[in-house]
Amino acid sequence: MTLSFWSLVMDGGYIMMPLALLLLVAIYVFTERCIVINRAAKEDDTFMNRIRDYVHEGDIESAHNLCKKTGTPYSRLIDKGLSRIGRNMNDVLVAIENTGNIEVSALAKGLPWLSTTAAGAPMLGFLGTVVGMIDAFFSLANAGTAANITVLSSGIYQALVTTVAGLVVGIIALFAYNYLTARINRVMNSMESKTMEFMDLLNEPA
């Protein structure tokens, strides 16, 4: 006999069903967030220079249009700052920071699913281990004098399969979570850089 992936899945028992569901959710969230974050991470090297030119020329409407056309988190931050031009500098900064918090929350949408999967999948695997061992020793107790290693083998096999499955799903979700978190942090750094550049622009002498 050969050991196949499908046979492992089938022999793992009912605990494999929630583990498979968690794996599918983790893959979906990772793929969807990668697409969203990749779009958010796109940068236009000429963006801030064009904003500076528009502000110096007093053409705030064109600056707003550029922000809307760019459609990235940092452009929405700058757009919010442009709408507050003329107010106290602290009010402008607070408005930008509030918008930044909303943008970061939008980027991090779905990440709690990954962190929950990373923590919960191994626990489900251990639950399957316990259930498999209980089944193994229950079978051993009922076998009486006919007890042998074969009686124990099916329960122990199920226990080990669910343990491995839980660890695999948890590890995948953990790496996916950390990767997406690192990508979001890079986007946040870009947003902070653009914010400081915009505030410096407003502080420039006329």
> What does the pLDDT look like over 145-165, one tens digit per residue?
555 566 566 667 677 788 888
Contact 195, 76 (CB under 8 A): no
Spatial CB neighbours of 194, under 8 Å, sequence gap ≥ 6:
47, 48, 74, 77, 78
Give the mean pLDDT of 60-83: 90
Give 116's pLDDT tier (boundaries 50, 70, 90). Answer: very high
pLDDT score for 128? 81
